[in-house]
Amino acid sequence: MSPLKGILLKIASTVMFTAMIACIKAVSETIPAGEAVFFRSFFALVPLLPLLIYRGQLMTAITTRHYISHWTRGLVGVASMGTWFMAIGLLPMPEAFALGYASPLIAVVLAVLMLGEQVRFFRWGAVLVGFGGILFIVWPSLSLLRQGALETPALMGAICALGSSFFAALAMILVRKLIAIEPTPAIVLHFSVNSAILALLTLPLGWVWPNPYEAALLILSGLLGGVGQILLTECYRHADTSTIAPFDYLSMLWGLLFGYVLFGDKPTSHVLIGAAIVIGAGLMIILRERQLASRVTT
């Protein structure tokens, strides 16, 4: 174990994923979300396949007896990516990233409902605080309900972001089940392949032929996503989950930076305060998980 190396790999993965999102946002006005999901998933295989071949894990990754589980995880993952890419196109990056942090909170609720996990007062309190932060972020958009403007981009973007968080949380639960029966290379490879195939089903909904600039950004999004996935997988070889998890929230910093420099997105006070509440609640849950893990080991 090398915690510092694991942390550095995790930080690098957050930069890759944020850069990937920036590429998607740059083409979101003209490229449908389903088409973006295809490019993101298909071209992620470019860095992934050589790595699996180099490590001698390709056949292990391809061979599986749990196709239904992989396809279910892929379907949920495509739903999460598709709604996330829609949210990115409709919202400033800081606001979209802040709402994306709802997924760890939703995962706690789903773990109770789907896995039968016991959650005590401390974590339930953190979940309630976190959802309060989410409500604070979306409050300006909710005010549109009182004005009758139900189809404004900000409101639809917030709905898509929260929907993506729900599907991402559901994906976390499915991956936790898959880890018990499948090796990591199989989970990563089948997700990319299945996501690309499922994204093709959105072709009748109106894909467009990208121009060279858009095509380059779409391909780059897939390459960045693939490298980010490799870095994310590799970081868990060097450090415990409880050590690495807090660095997920660095993506908020990168989102602020990329959004401001590339798109001129300036976070509002609602977004900054709400994001601080949501991140604080997420860190409370991580801290609690770490305390419980240490009690079990001792």
* Secondary structure (DSSP) of 64-107: -S-HHHHHHHHHHHHHHHHHHHHHHHHS-HHHHHHHHTHHHHHH
At 145 the pLDDT is 52
Confidence of residue 295 (pLDDT cuts 50, 70, 90): low
Q: How confident is the model at residue 106 (pLDDT cuts 50, 70, 90)?
A: confident
- Among the ranges given (17-21, 155-159, 238-242, 270-274), the one the predictor scored with the smallest mean pLDDT: 238-242
CA 134 – CA 188 distance, rounded (Å): 30
Confidence of residue 285 (pLDDT cuts 50, 70, 90): confident
**Is residue 236 pLDDT above 80, yes or no?**
no
Query: Would you place residue 151 in the very low, low, confident or very high pLDDT band (cuts 50, 70, 90)?
Result: low
Angle between helices 67-90 and 153-179 (to 10 degrees): 160
Only one residue has tokens 């409050």, namely 139
pLDDT at site 206: 86
- pLDDT tier at 209 (50, 70, 90 boundaries)? very high
Higher pLDDT, 158 or 49: 49
Which of 12-16, 76-80, 125-129, 209-213 has the least mean pLDDT? 125-129
Q: For residue 130, is pLDDT > 60?
A: yes
pLDDT at 123 exceeding the cut of 90:
no
Residue position matching structure tokens 């490590």: 55
**Is it the case that residue 149 has pLDDT exceeding 80?**
no
Tokens 């936790």 identify what position? 176
| Mean pLDDT over each residue of the chain, to the nearest integer | 84
Check pLDDT > 60 for residue 53.
yes
Q: Which of 212-226, 236-250, 260-274 has the lowest mean pLDDT?
A: 236-250
Non-local CB neighbours of 116 within 8 Å, separated by 6+ positions:
none
Q: Comparing C-alpha atoms, which of 77, 79, 63 is closest to residue 175?
A: 77
Q: Which residues contact 238 (CB under 8 A, 6 or more apart)?
A: 1, 2, 3, 5, 6, 9
Nearest to 73 by CA among 156, 184, 158, 160: 184
DSSP 148: T
Q: Distance (Å, rounded) from C-alpha 80 to C-alpha 26?
A: 19
Cα gap 73→5, rounded to integer Å: 29
Q: What is the pLDDT of residue 219?
A: 97
Say which residue, 271 or 226, is predicted with more confidence. 226
User: For residues 40 and 266, which has the higher predicted lDDT (pLDDT)?
Assistant: 40
Q: Can you tell me the mean pLDDT for 50-79?
A: 89
Q: How far apart are CA 160 and CA 201, in angstroms?
A: 20
**Distance from CA of residue 115 to its chain's centroid?**
21
Q: Is 8 exposed, middle or buried (0-12, 13-18, 19+ CB in 10 A)?
A: middle
Q: Which one has a higher pLDDT value, 192 or 106?
A: 192
Please tell me what DSSP assigns to residue 31: S
Range 168-196 average pLDDT: 86
Q: What number of other Cβ atoms are within 10 A of residue 94's Cβ?
A: 24
Q: What is the mean pLDDT of residues 153-174?
A: 87
Higher pLDDT, 39 or 113: 39
Going by pLDDT thresholds of 50, 70 and 90, the confidence category of residue 232 is confident
What is the rounded CA–CA span in Å between residue 203 and residue 187? 25
Q: Which residue has the tokens 């599907």?
A: 167
What secondary structure does DSSP assign to 164-218, as a single string?
HHHHHHHHHHHHHHHHTTS-HHHHHHHHHHHHHHHHHTTGGGT-----HHHHHHH
**What gap in Å lies between CA 123 and CA 137, rounded to an integer?**
21
